[in-house]
Amino acid sequence: MAKTPENVETAARTAAEETGDEAATAAPAGRQAAAETPRPKGIGLVGWLRWGWRQLTTMRTALILLFLVALGSVPGSILPQRGQAPEKVAEYFEKHKTLAPWLDKLSLFDVFAAPWFAAIYILLFVSLAGCVLPRAVKHYRAMRARPPAAPRNLGRLPQHARHETDASPEEVLAEARALLRERRFRVDAGDGSVAAEKGYLGETGNLLFHLALLALLFALGVGNLFGYRGDILVTEGKTFANSLSHYDQFKPGRWFDTDGLAPFSLALDDFKATYETREGPNKGQATDYDARMRFRETPDGPEKTYHLKVNHPLSVGGAKVYLLNHGYAPVFTVRDAKGNIAFQDAVPFLPMEQVNYTSEGVIKAPDAEPEQLAFYAVLWPTAVPAKKGDQIESGWPAPLRPVVSIASFKGDVGLDSGTPQSVYKLEGLGKSLKMVKDGRQLLRPGQTFKLPEGAGSITFDGVREWTTLSVNHDPGRMPALIAAILAVVGVVASFMVRRRRVWVRAAAGDDGRTVVEVGGLTLGHPTPEFDEIVAALRGGEERGPDGSGAGETAPDTESKE
Amino acid sequence: MSSTDLANLSDKLMLTTVVLYIIAMVAYAADLGFGGRRRTADAVAEKKVLATVGGGEGGGDESAPAPAAAVEQAGGRDWGRFAVLLNVLGWAAHLGVLITRGLAASHWPWANMYEFLTAIAFAAVTAYLVCLWRFQARFLGAFVMVAVVMALGGANIWLYQEVGPVRPALNSYWIAIHVSAAIIATGAFTVAGVATILYLLKAPREARGAVGDGFWAHLPSAGNLDRLALRVTMFAFPIWTAAIIMGAIWADEAWGRYWGWDPKEIWSFITWIAYAAYLHARATAGWRGRRAAVLSLVAFACLLFNFFGVNYMFQGLHTYAAPAPTAVVETVANV
């Protein structure tokens, strides 16, 4: 900044002040001076760097960068994103075999983690910091400096007034000082004049807004680096302990220490969904989810209960637990050919549709002997005859009349190989797993299906519900909130408060009366304040509409409507 | 009254509102087109009044006396006043639509797209009436009415939904705060958008000196239109900012993260950036005037897209369709 031509800045600033109206959002002087900065010729590396820095911190560059951030976010809404829906990205790759890899090379499936996106917003924030920080220093100095002395010709200011009085110049100036101080101006006495200034809050707010945005980005970064997020599926009657192995999905921040997981535990006692039962188009819509939980902050801590609902997360051990989804987990008992229980548990099924929760799932019994058993099943929570044909469909999302259809398989389930597989799918169908002939059956709770040739049996014991819970820990949460609130406060202050200057000059006129001149300069729209000051200075004298400059009040027009 | 009665009343009031707005629109248009006899008076008054919008015009209109009253009497039929009267009645009926709808459903009446758009239209009319009261911006009336009638028509034809219960995800006091802020900001941005379009239409005519003495002369000067748009945007921008932030707080309560690049979040963010760019452009030499105005319209287009496009083109958390199942894939080693 050392070589910044101060006069250029001042010129730009005066220009901005004179055009007046935009000042509430006015650019810093430094940002406007760019056009006047000569293109460097043979200035060496330092010169080029300085030139580059100045270019980067101009308002034009900032505007272009802002625009690029907006433009760069667009593909994030059009294309599926890995961060939000990885399965949809996979689907997209299936559908667009040639295009997808190209898009992927441009990180278009990870827009918000893409290097080019980071480049844009880091440049933007550097540009912002490069402008705001020096400006903050300047503002601090300006706040402590004396108000600028009165210009020679007050008549050329946007607001001006002139009157004569019998009081002496000294009296007038003393009164002006008192009056302006009373109005909370900072007042400085000059030679035969008074200079006053107020409204620094506007610029303070403007700086606060921009600094708060920097802080917000910083808080987001801290949250991403030091936080974690995980999803778990919990069935009624089961317990979850907050450790890595219990998570179905776990995304730690880059610098999160996984040993630092808070040692809390949760148990889901009961999940209850309430549905709209009144007739009408909304019948069957969920109106409330309520998961009754028990939890402990630490393994030895006291047990507490909590009703986990949507919009009502549980805070435990510095983490927050959210209710995400729900579904059904039918309970089955599988007996093998020898009559031993090979499997007995609730099996989470995934909804095939979201209205009445027809769900599907698989039961794997690798312990069955001599041959391993597996089943594919469909659950209708409230089984009713389908309108067409002799099929079944679910008529209601709650489990009023649950029925499962079972298809049986035997052979090798494939779990012994150690390769991870989905708990919602059967692998090796038709290869290692053969369908059991006549192995299909509909079951109601309590019913048992005996497989042909004494291969074993499966009992449908009943239906439980599961919920998916999201657990996250985000140390940036509170700082981000505070920064966001400060940003709003800042932007409101910068829009509401305008800096304004008032000068009063008093001198003896030719006829012995004192000539009082008042001049006003407001960044932004002139306010009625100036007229009030002038009126107060005139005291009891007549106050006509003349001489009020471009004042705001127009009472005669208002009464017209 | 029962919930059904209230819902029916709400629908009837909606019809009343639309009819009143349509007549008001015609009356405003008549005022703009044929209000010729009062033109001189209005032109003077507008000049003076709109100076309050922008100021900084210099002391040019100091000498403006108030001949309005005198000319007013000679004016004969006053389409403008008739329009304002109908407009205010329509506004009251519109308020009634929202209140009865809310009472019928016993939740805040912006839980679905129909209610949301109705509320936005209400906010736009309110913003216009405030501009009318503060800045005598009656010239905006016809255009705001066109936008509002289109919005309400669209809401009734394509988006209508019967009164229903609120989804668990929307069952939070944040709906009152976050959605209201979004509605108010959108309403105000709409008025700013109308003023900006008028500015873009009027500015080149003014530059060519081709204003004539008809319709275009009846509008305030391009500079004043521009400043009105800026002021309304400056009012709406902090509210929009707050709406996004409160949305983030709510998202943190409901979905477990305060920012997840959901399509709605992305487009709110883009809209915010576009308006921020406009506000900065207004203050930057070389971007003022036409370029800034175009930026403002780009921002308004983003706002509209955020409302319609995002809800109907993308699958996101704000679509209020059934929630997508989270594919929870367990890596099974030991069962």
d(CA B177, CA B183): 10
CA closest to A31 among chain B residues: B284
Distance from CA of B262 to the nearest CA of A (A): 7
A224 pLDDT exceeds 70?
A: yes
Mutual angle of helices B113-135 and B79-105, in 10-degree steps = 140
SS3 per-residue string spanning A513-532: CEEEEEEEEECCCCCCHHHH
β A186-189/A228-235 pair status: unpaired
> Residue A349: its pLDDT value, please?
94
Contact A354 B66 (CB under 8 A): no
- Assign B89 a pLDDT band (cuts: 50, 70, 90): very high
pLDDT at A81: 86
Chain B residues within 8 A of A309 when measuring between CB atoms: 168
Q: What is the mean pLDDT of chain A?
A: 83
Provide the pLDDT for residue A8: 36
Closest CA to A151 of A190, A203, A199: A190
Residues of chain A neighbouring B261 (CB-CB closer than 8 A): 73, 76, 81, 83-84, 111-112
List the single best residue of B81, B88, B250, B280 to mutate versus A (max A Cβ within 10 A): B280
pLDDT tens string A243-256:
888 888 888 888 88
User: pLDDT tens digits for A381-417?
Assistant: 998 887 776 788 888 899 999 999 999 998 888 887 7
A161 DSSP assignment: E
Question: Residue B219: which of B194, B186, B190 has the closest Cα?
Answer: B194
pLDDT at A377: 93
Residues B11, B185: contact at Cβ < 8 Å?
no
Q: Which residues of A touch B165 (CB under 8 A)?
A: 276, 282, 285, 287
Q: Which residues pair with A267 in a beta bridge?
A: A239, A294
Are A424 and B329 a contacting pair at CB < 8 A?
A: yes
pLDDT of residue B198: 92
State how far the Cα of A44 lies from the Cα of A29, in Å rounded to an integer.
26
Residues of chain B found within 8 Å of residue A276, distances taken between Cβ atoms: 164-165
Nearest CB partner across the interface for A560, out of B45, B263, B286: B45
pLDDT per residue as tens digits for the range A505-549: 988 888 888 889 999 888 766 778 888 888 888 874 443 344 433
Query: Around Cβ A152, how many Cβ atoms within 10 Å?
Result: 8
* B180-208 and B290-307 helices, crossing angle to 10°: 150
Residues of chain A found within 8 Å of residue B302, distances taken between Cβ atoms: 70
Q: Does A9 touch chain B (CB under 8 A)?
A: no
B45 confidence band (pLDDT: 50, 70, 90): very low
Whole-number Å distance between alpha carbons of A364 and A410: 10
Find the CB nearest A320 among B256, B277, B330. B256
| First vs last C-alpha separation in chain A | 54
Per-residue pLDDT at A41 = 64
Among A23, A286, A526, select the one facing B167 at the smallest CB separation. Answer: A286
The conformation of residue B221, written as its DSSP 8-state character, comes to P
DSSP H/E element including A307:
strand A304-308
Rg (CA), chain A: 37
pLDDT of residue B35: 67
The whole-number average pLDDT for the span A61-66 is 86
HSE on the CB side for B88, CA within 13 Å? 10
Q: Give B-chain residues touching A35 at CB under 8 angstroms.
A: 285-286
Which residues lie below 8 Å from residue A538, measured CB to CB, with a gap of 6+? A163, A165
- Quick one: tokens of A396? 């209601």
Q: What is the reported pLDDT for B316?
A: 63
Query: B-contacting residues of A 188-217, CB under 8 Å?
Result: none
Q: Measure the CA–CA gap between A463 and A349, rounded to whole angstroms.
A: 10
Write out pLDDT tens, residues B18-42: 999 999 999 888 888 776 544 444 4
Nearest to B237 among A229, A327, A491 (CB): A491
Q: Do A550 and B266 touch (CB under 8 A)?
A: no
Residues B295-312 have pLDDT tens digits of: 999 999 999 998 888 877
Q: Which two tokens stand for residue A158?
A: 């946007």
- pLDDT, tens digit, for every residue of B239-288? 999 999 999 998 888 888 888 888 889 999 999 999 999 998 887 767 77
Please report how the helices B141-158 and B79-105 are oriented relative to each other, as an axis angle in degrees rounded to 10: 30
List the single residue in B238, B242, B285 with the smallest CB-CB distance to A495. Answer: B238
Give which of A203, A210, A139 is closest to A497, Cα–Cα: A203
| Of residues B48, B58, B261, nearest to A83 (C-beta) | B261
What is the percent of chain A where pLDDT is above 90?
Answer: 30
Written as one string, the DSSP assignment of A48-77 is HHHHHHHHHTSHHHHHHHHHHHHHHHHHHH
Which of A85, A354, A487 minimises the CB distance to B323?
A354
Model confidence at B334, pLDDT cuts 50, 70, 90, reads very low
**A485 Cβ under 8 Å from any chain B Cβ:** yes
Radius of gyration for chain B, computed over Cα atoms and rounded to the nearest angstrom = 22
Chain B contacts in chain A segment 417-456 (CB below 8 A): 418, 420-424
Query: A289-294 long-range CB contacts below 8 Å, 24 or more apart?
Result: A289/A323, A289/A326, A289/A467, A289/B168, A291/A323, A291/A467, A292/A268, A293/A266, A293/A267, A293/A268, A293/A269, A294/A266, A294/A267, A294/A269
**Residue-level pLDDT at A61:** 87
A288–B contact, CB cutoff 8 A: yes
Which among A81, A474, A550 has the least Cβ separation from residue B59? Answer: A550
- Per DSSP, which regions of A412-550 are E strands? 433-443, 448-450, 456-473, 500-508, 514-522
- Residue B324 predicted with pLDDT over 60: no
Q: How many contacts (CB atoms, under 8 Å) link A and B?
A: 241
Q: In chain B, which residue's Cα lies nearest the Cα of A72?
A: B270
| A27–B284 C-beta distance less than 8 A | yes
Q: Residue B75: pLDDT above 50?
A: no
Q: Do B161 and A423 touch (CB under 8 A)?
A: no
A394 in contact with chain B, both atoms CB, cutoff 8 A: no
Give me B246's structure tokens: 């409160």
Instruction: Look up tokens 């990180």; give the residue.
Output: A107
Chain B: residue whose CA lies nearest to A345: B335
Cβ contact A554–B52 (<8 Å): yes
Q: Residue B274: its chain A contacts at CB < 8 A?
A: 70
Answer whether A249 sits within 8 Å of B165, measured CB to CB. Answer: no
Whole-Å CA distances, A259 to A191, A244, A252, A255, A256: 72, 9, 11, 12, 9
Question: Cβ contacts (< 8 Å) between B257 and chain A: which residues?
Answer: 229, 472, 474
Q: Which residues pair with A441 in a beta bridge?
A: A406
Structure-block tokens of residue A255 = 């610098």
Mean pLDDT of chain B: 79
Res A413: pLDDT: 85
Could you tell me which of B105, B66, B53 has the C-alpha nearest to residue B228?
A: B53
The pLDDT value given to residue B51: 44
| pLDDT tens-digit series, residues A126-164 | 998 888 899 999 999 988 888 888 888 888 888 888 888
Closest CB to B273: pick one of A69, A249, A549: A69
Q: Do B330 and A248 touch (CB under 8 A)?
A: yes
Helical pair A59-78 and A115-144, crossing angle rounded to 10 deg: 140
Classified as helix, coil or strand, A150 is: coil
Q: At residue A289, does pLDDT exceed 80?
A: yes
Which of B245, B266, B274 is nearest residue A484 as measured by Cβ atoms? B245
Distance of alpha carbon A261 from alpha carbon B30, whole angstroms: 70
In this prediction, residues A327-344 reach a mean pLDDT of: 93
- CA dist., res. A448 & res. A443, Å (int): 7
Report whether pLDDT(A261) > 70: yes
Of residues A198 and A9, more confidence is placed in A198
Query: Is pLDDT at A21 greater than 70 in this prediction?
Result: no
pLDDT over 60 at B220, yes or no: yes
Question: Could you tell me the two tokens for A51?
Answer: 């030139």
User: What is the DSSP-derived secondary structure letter of residue A416?
Assistant: T
Q: How far is B52 from chain A (nearest CA, A)?
A: 5
pLDDT score recorded for residue A82? 83
Residues from chain B that touch A546, judged by Cβ atoms under 8 A, are 62
Report CA-CA distances (Å) from A218 to A149, A211, A225, B311. 41, 11, 11, 31
pLDDT over 80 (residue B99) = yes
Per residue in B154-191, pLDDT (tens digit) is: 888 888 887 777 777 777 888 888 988 999 999 999 99
Cis peptide before A381 (omega within 30 of 0): no
- What is the bridge-based pairing of β-strands A456-473 and A249-252? unpaired
DSSP state of A79: S
Q: What is the pLDDT of residue B76?
A: 47
- Across the interface, which of A81, A468, A488 has its CB nearest the CB of B242? A488
Highest mean pLDDT out of A169-173, A447-451, B36-40, B99-103: A447-451
Residue from the list B164, B269, B327 with its beta carbon closest to the beta carbon of A73 = B269
Which residues, in sequence order, are bridge partners of residue A520?
A159, A502
Judge whether A33 is closer than 8 Å to chain B, CB to CB. Answer: no
CA distances from A380 to A233, A275, A396, A397, B211 (A): 20, 17, 9, 9, 71
* Rounded distance between C-alpha atoms, residue B130 and residue B126, angstroms: 6
Distance CA A484, CA A478 (A): 10
Q: What is the pLDDT of residues A440-486, one digit of tens each?
A: 899 999 999 999 888 899 999 999 999 999 998 989 889 999 999 99
- The Cα–Cα gap between B295 and B291 comes to 6
Q: Cα–Cα distance between A198 and A184 in angstroms, integer?
A: 7
Residue in this structure with the two tokens 């019967």, named with its chain if needed: B162
pLDDT at position A324 is 85
* Chain B residues whose beta carbon lies within 8 Å of the beta carbon of residue A350: 325, 327
pLDDT digits (tens, 9 = 90+) for A175-188: 899 999 988 888 98
**pLDDT for residue A295:** 94
pLDDT band at A27 (very low <50, low <70, confident <90, very high): very low
Mutate to test the interface with A, among B52, B112, B166 (most CBs of A within 10 A): B52
Q: Which helix (H) or strand (E) holds B42?
A: helix B39-54
Q: What is the pLDDT of residue B285?
A: 66
Give B99: exposed, middle or buried? Use CB within 10 Å, 0-12, 13-18, 19+: middle
- Specify whether the CB–CB gap between B22 and B150 falls below 8 A: no
Q: Please give the residue of chain A at the shortest CA–CA distance from B324.
A: A354
Q: Residue B174: closest CA among chain A residues belongs to which residue?
A: A311
pLDDT for res A558: 29
Tokens of A177: 């000082």
Residues of A in contact with B279 (CB under 8 A): 25
